[in-house]
Structure 1
Amino acid sequence: MELRSYRYFWTIAEYGNITKAAQALHITQPTLSRQLKEMEEELATPLFIRENKRLILTDAGRYLKQRAEEIIELTERTEQEFLHQRQELFSGHISIGCIEGDNSDTLAMILEEFLSDYPQVTFNIFSNTSDEISDKLDAGLLDVAILIEPVPTEKYHRLPLPRKEVWGIWVDQTAFISQNKVLKPKDIIGLPLIMPQRPEPQKLLADWAGTTIDELNIRGNFNLSFNVFSLVENHIGAAFGISGVELHHRTGTTKFIPLDPPISTYSVFVWKKHRVNSAVVDGFIKRMQESFQ
């Protein structure tokens, strides 16, 4: 007899009623009736006496119920002990690179779930630009990373995350342009800009505006957004970046204005191709794939 059969029989014995037992087991009444009939045929003995719409255990039924309780309890205890042992054995460290973006909380949620299942695992988060993170990933100093497109990912396995990152311009609320609900290409031409230092985002904006990088009025560049808000608030320039990043730092008088037509790109979870990972890293990658593929 299968373990499932013991569970079915024990539940019927507890409720003394096929319908109630079927409801507790979340299966149909005919299915449970058929399972009971097959058990009695397999054991060549009746397990219940049917009296006034209630099932009463026979002597063989009482014996089987006792054995079923022992088998179910032993199985559940074994499964629990194996889970605890797996949690203890599945330990190690994972290093994660993560850009500043709206999907940072996605990483936090998956990591929280993963560490809850495997409390022996430790981690390190490295926050920087996509270039710096990619360099450390290539050098083997990081195991996995979250990057914002546009970014070269040919060397990596790539898993897009669900929420798109929306690009736009940060301006000071006292600037005249802050009255706009959206910015069109004509609004960008001549606007003093503070740009991400990577060439990919610069080209992204230039292509959107129908111009070249050289024709954009770029006052300066930045790698992380931590310091750029002070520059924007002091009217050094308007900053090109993604929505949501300012919420992780400061609000001040900074306002985010989206572009029209909009620019949006994916954040991607990546790990290096042809690299042998630890069991912990492979387990974390699998958890991300199960969550978002």
Structure 2
Amino acid sequence: MEIRMLRYFLTIAAEQNISQAARVLHITQPTLSRQLKEFEEKLGTDLFIRENKKMFLTETGMFLKKRAEEILLLNDKTEQEFLNKKQGLLSGHISIGCVEADNSDTLALFLEELIADHPQISFNIVSGTSDDIIEKLDKGLLDVALLLEPVSTEKYDKIVLPRQERWGLLVSNESFLANKNDLTVEELVGIPLLCSARLEVQNMFYSWAEIEEKELNIIGTFNLIFNVFSLVENRVGSALTIEGAISHRKSENVKFLPLVPEIKTNCVLVWKKNTILSPTVHKLIEKFNYAL
């Protein structure tokens, strides 16, 4: 697939109109129509459905859109790195994955220092679960990532951040648990729970509690804690989470109860082993290594 044709395809998908897309691309409408037809014939499938003078992606088109965005991101990133090398400047773009955690402010601190020293550098932070971020890291869409244990890191070089994250239960202030200061295993059993969808996290709780899966009443799962605040406030369930994920989302309607015995896990900064890193990414990792 030609990079040019992928750009054409994404422009048509964004504009939903071949004439408007042609104007954006500064080419004629017949030329763009012909190129799209040839592209669909080459792939052996329709990428768009035409309805009421608008163009909507087919299921295959939606799949290609995701892949095309990833391909173009890698292409642009590679071109920029070669340009930076040619100019001899410590500049360029860093893509960073980051989980919701108290250690996010550590990342912010080092980025602040990096930008202050090298103002030509720009960055993009992608938030998500460890699983989401790892997928993007493996595809080369991210340079480094801040992940929350438990997580498998065999494929990556890593730096363990010293400040640990404390796990507990987020409950409604109207819950009968709200007058407590912490929560034991026995008190957790039977409570309607909302938990991370990641199996590693669920298994961590089963191991901590020394109970079988069926003994924890997990009624729902989530990827980001932001999505379940209202569920906790309305007493649909109480959410197992880390304190750092909610520390900047203060609410008078919920309360965090640390678990007893205590569960603490680390955050780790990771990057792919045996991969060539740009000087800009090297500099960020250097700052972490020097400080930690």
Q: TM-score, normalised by structure 1?
A: 0.68
Does the CA contact (< 8 Å) of 1:203 and 1:212 recur in 2? no
SS of the aligned residue for 2:164 comes to: strand
Q: Distance in 2 between matches of 1:286 and 1:126?
A: 21
* Residues 250 and 181 of structure 1: CA distance in aligned 2, closer, same or farther (over 3 Å): closer
Query: CA shift at 1:252, angstroms?
Result: 3.7
Partner of 2:151: 151
Q: Once structures 1 and 2 are overlaid, which stretch shifts more, 97-106 or 248-257?
A: 248-257
Partner of 2:101: 101
1:144-169 residue CA offsets vs partner (Å, 9 max, x unmatched): 00000000111111111121000000
Partner of 1:61: none
The equivalences for 1:59-78 within 5 A come to none
Query: CA shift at 1:250, angstroms?
Result: 4.4
The equivalences for 1:269-284 within 5 A come to 269-284=269-284
The equivalences for 1:42-81 within 5 A come to none
One-letter code of the match for 1:135?
E
* Structure 2 alignment gaps of length 5 or more: 1-86
Query: CA shift at 1:88, angstroms?
Result: 7.5
Question: Are 1:205 and 2:205 an aligned pair?
Answer: yes
Aligned residue-pair number:
206
1:184-243 residue CA offsets vs partner (Å, 9 max, x unmatched): 110111111000000111111111111122321011000001121100001111100000
* Residues 123 and 179 of structure 1: CA distance in aligned 2, closer, same or farther (over 3 Å): same
The equivalences for 1:45-194 within 5 A come to 89-194=89-194
SS of the aligned residue for 1:114 comes to: helix
Q: Distance in 2 between matches of 1:247 and 1:181?
A: 16
SS of the aligned residue for 1:89 comes to: coil
One-letter code of the match for 2:197?
Q
Partner of 2:291: 291
Identity across the alignment (%): 50
Does the CA contact (< 8 Å) of 1:92 and 1:122 recur in 2? yes
One-letter code of the match for 2:228?
V
Q: Distance in 2 between matches of 1:153 and 1:214?
A: 29
Partner of 1:232: 232
Partner of 2:262: 262
Q: Distance in 2 between matches of 1:249 and 1:258?
A: 17
Q: Distance in 2 between matches of 1:213 and 1:100?
A: 26
SS of the aligned residue for 1:257 comes to: strand
Does the CA contact (< 8 Å) of 2:103 and 2:244 recur in 1? no
1:92-133 residue CA offsets vs partner (Å, 9 max, x unmatched): 111000000000111000100011111100100000000000
Q: Distance in 2 between matches of 1:259 and 1:234?
A: 22
Q: Distance in 1 between matches of 2:247 and 2:269?
A: 22
One-letter code of the match for 1:134?
I
Q: Distance in 1 between matches of 2:250 and 2:213?
A: 29
Q: Distance in 1 between matches of 2:232 and 2:129?
A: 20
Does the CA contact (< 8 Å) of 1:196 and 1:202 recur in 2? yes
Q: Distance in 1 between matches of 2:192 and 2:216?
A: 8
SS of the aligned residue for 2:133 comes to: helix
Q: Distance in 2 between matches of 1:247 and 1:167?
A: 12
Larger Rg: 1
Query: CA shift at 1:137, angstroms?
Result: 0.4
Query: CA shift at 1:173, angstroms?
Result: 1.0
* Residues 184 and 278 of structure 1: CA distance in aligned 2, closer, same or farther (over 3 Å): same
